[in-house]
Amino acid sequence: MSGKNSGMDVAMLGALVEPNRMAIVELLSNGPLTVGEIANRLGLSQPHASKHLKVLSNNGIVEVKPEANRRYYKLRPEPFQALEYWATSFKKDMERRFDSLDDYVQEFQNKRKETNEK
């Protein structure tokens, strides 16, 4: 794998490390919710939920959509697409490394077998 992070935002990952923020993301994966709905479902105070939503918003993970007197939070797909792309490229690199290791082990076993047959 190259030294590039393929558009992966490390700050976004840092924002997701906090358990309450991860729980919010999991809730929002089912659709948009208000701060009050998020707070109620997670047993948080509204200010506490708002604090976490601000971090998620500042890191581009959620966006706010005002409707009448409510503000709905929803996930933005782009950060998760970047995460998926990064994870896939990492997986491909690891598979290539394991394939190389398999080739090496097979070559080693063949040489060992040839040596034992002599």
Q: Report pLDDT digits (tens) over 37-84.
A: 999 999 999 999 999 999 999 999 999 999 999 999 999 999 888 888
Per-residue pLDDT at 89 exceeds 90? no
Q: What is the dihedral of CA 90, 94, 96, 100, to 10 degrees?
A: 160
pLDDT the model gives residue 1: 40
Phi first, then psi, for residue 75 (nearest 5°) are -75, 145
End-to-end Cα spacing for the chain = 41
